């Protein structure tokens, strides 16, 4: 029996040509402007993405009809250096208040007027809980065979 | 799922599937165990690999859009 290993967190770094204060402000207060439109769990078109600017603040999207879908909440609020968000959309693409994965974003000065933004989405293994229903959902959109192929290819670089 | 069952669903050879599964296993994304002479892979972990791959691409796209917006908004302010 092979020991169960924990999947690595998703880690990303992007450099932006704006100071940390600005990067932090755009990331948090202007999420509506950049969050990809097709990444929504609502049935109606999205009107905005809201991140309430404080520890414990709600993170949600609002539809054009005024309905809201919660995504999670603010675990750590440290402008302009760092935020940690609770991502509570589970593997079935539903908000689940018992499900928490963490997204940490750090903003570090880079050169005279830039920022290095490091993002880590961790606790990925928690998506595996309730895996059967998740797989049903994923099979509908992409089919796991093709994904396995492309993922393995990507892993080998 | 045994390697043979997985290979039947894919347009690639069985050895190729074994190779891919070995990569996924090394990455900690699938779990296997011996069942008699067969090696059986846990399908939920494969689902996890799909989801992790999705998240990986999702954040690439999201951060790219964030960068574009941050740099656009700075020009707007100036």
HEC profile of chain A: CCCCCCCCCEEEEEEECCCHHHHHHHHHHCHHHHCCCCCCCCCCCEEEEEECCCCCCEEEEEECCCCEEEEEEEEEEECCCEEEEEECECCCCCECCCCCEEEEEEEEEECCCEEEEEEEEECHHHHHCCHHHHHHHHHHHCCHHHHHHHHHHHHHC
Q: Which residues of chain A does B47 touch, with a Cβ-Cβ cutoff of 8 Å?
A: 91, 128, 131, 134-135, 138, 144
Helix-strand-coil split of chain B, %, nearest 5 = 70, 10, 20
Domain parsing of chain A, residue ranges: 11-122, 126-157
pLDDT score of A36: 82
Contact A7 B28 (CB under 8 A): yes
Q: How far does B50 lie from chain A, in Å, by closest CA?
A: 6
Which chain B residue has its CA at the smallest distance from A157's CA? B23
CA A123, A128, A132 angle in degrees (round to 5)?
Answer: 160
Contact A131 B59 (CB under 8 A): no
Look at residues A121, A18, A71 and name the one whose alpha carbon lies nearest to residue B66. A18
Alpha-carbon distance values, B78 to A20, B32, B74 (Å): 17, 57, 6
- B68 contacts chain A (CB < 8 A): yes
A23 in Cβ contact with B70 (< 8 Å): yes
- Going by CATH, does the domain composed of A11-122 fall within 3.30.530.20? yes
A31 in Cβ contact with B76 (< 8 Å): no
Q: Evaluate if residue A134 carries a pLDDT over 50.
A: no
Instruction: Return the SS3 of B58.
Output: helix
Topology adopted by domain B3-77: Arc Repressor Mutant, subunit A (1.10.10)
| Alpha-carbon span B17 to B1, nearest angstrom | 12
Structure confidence by residue, pLDDT tens digits, A18-64:
999 999 999 999 999 999 877 777 788 889 999 999 999 999 999 99
Domain parsing of chain B, residue ranges: 3-77
The mean pLDDT value for A76-92 works out to 93
pLDDT score of A7: 77
Q: What value of ipTM does the predicted structure carry?
A: 0.78
| Alpha-carbon span A156 to B35, nearest angstrom | 28
Look at residues A93, A141, A101, A139 and name the one whose alpha carbon lies nearest to residue A119. A101
A61 in Cβ contact with A44 (< 8 Å): no
Q: How far does B57 lie from chain A, in Å, by closest CA?
A: 10
The answer for residues whose C-beta is within 8 angstroms of residue A89's C-beta and 6 or more apart is A41, A71, A72, A95, A96, A99
Q: What confidence tier does B45 reach under pLDDT thresholds 50, 70, 90?
A: low
Looking at every residue in chain B, the average pLDDT score rounds to 76
The mean pLDDT value for B33-38 works out to 80
Q: Evaluate if residue B19 carries a pLDDT over 70.
A: yes
């Amino acid at each position: 029996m092979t020991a169960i290993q924990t999947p690595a967190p998703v880690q990303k770094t992007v450099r932006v040509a704006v100071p940390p204060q600005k990067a932090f402000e755009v990331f948090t207060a202007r999420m509506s402007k950049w969050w990809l439109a097709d990444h929504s769990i609502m049935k109606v078109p999205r009107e905005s993405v809201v991140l309430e600017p404080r520890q414990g603040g709600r993170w949600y999207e609002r539809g054009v009809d005024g309905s809201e879908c919660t995504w999670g909440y603010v675990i750590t609020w440290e402008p302009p250096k760092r935020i940690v968000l609770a991502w509570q959309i589970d593997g079935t693409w539903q908000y689940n208040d018992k499900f928490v994965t963490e997204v940490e974003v750090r903003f570090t000065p880079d050169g005279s007027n830039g920022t290095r933004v490091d993002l880590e989405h961790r606790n990925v293994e928690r998506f595996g809980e309730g895996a059967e229903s998740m797989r049903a959902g994923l099979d509908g959109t992409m089919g796991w065979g093709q994904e396995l192929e492309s993922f393995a290819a990507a892993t080998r670089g | 799922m045994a390697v043979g069952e997985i290979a039947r669903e894919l347009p690639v050879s069985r050895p190729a599937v074994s190779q891919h599964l070995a990569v996924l296993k090394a990455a900690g994304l699938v779990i296997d165990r011996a069942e008699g002479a067969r090696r059986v892979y846990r399908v939920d972990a494969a689902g996890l690999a799909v989801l992790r791959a999705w998240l990986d691409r999702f954040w690439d796209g999201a951060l790219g859009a964030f960068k574009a917006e941050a740099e656009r908004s700075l020009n707007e302010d100036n």
